[in-house]
Amino acid sequence: MTPEEYVESMKDYMARGAAIVGGCCGTTPEFIGKLAEAAPKAVAERTVEKKTRVSSQTQTVTFGDHVIVCGERLNPTGKKKMKKALLEEHYDELVVEAVKQVEAGAEVLDVNVGLPGIDEPETMKRVVRLLQEVVTLPLQIDSSEADAIENACRYYIGSTDQQSVRCRIDGNYRCISCVVLQRCG
């Protein structure tokens, strides 16, 4: 293939809006020079759809399209059975509740494991991993503890929403939770 033939074969890609074109094995500076001459000089336009989404491994929910039904029952606040299950590390109660919420039409599940005397980061990791084995809905992480949020994000397969984030300032005048959220994406 000559440099001219190569450029001709690439024109269709450029006409369809390819932002970057180039060569690989077998192309020489002459090929790339001819390609650069033929390539449009304008910067490629990109349309970015600005919508907030959460996802699990298999499902995506887009905010703003409709009212989102968020299951809020995976939370020990005011629930004796849930508190007991978390403190005793019997997570079957959470699984049963998660399945009930899915069956009731929830589109996202809120996960809160915060209790006094509990290792919230470790518990959050365990619960997030377990829930992903049972339900396919996206999870919303509900915690004021930066370490729990980070653990959830680290072990969650998908893109999550965070709720109840508390901003504590570190020695560099940065919000610790915001640094964690930025690191988690």
112-145 pLDDT per residue, tens: 999 999 999 999 999 999 999 999 999 999 998 8
* CATH number of domain containing 74: 3.20.20.20
Q: Is residue 144 in some structural domain?
A: yes
Residue 48 located in a structural domain:
no
- Rounded Cα distance between 117 and 88, Å, is 11
Question: In this structure, is residue 104 part of a structural domain?
Answer: yes
Q: Taking 90 as the threshold, does the pLDDT of residue 39 lie above it?
A: no
pLDDT at 17: 79
For residues 28 and 67, state if they share a domain. no
Mean pLDDT for 28-34 is 94
135 and 60 in a single domain? The answer is yes
| Shared domain check, 70 and 160 | yes
Residue 148 CA to residue 141 CA, distance in Å, equals 9
34 and 107 both lie in a single domain: no
- Does one domain contain both 142 and 71? yes
In this prediction the pTM is 0.70
Range of the domain at 18: 3-38
| pLDDT: which is higher, 70 or 173 | 70
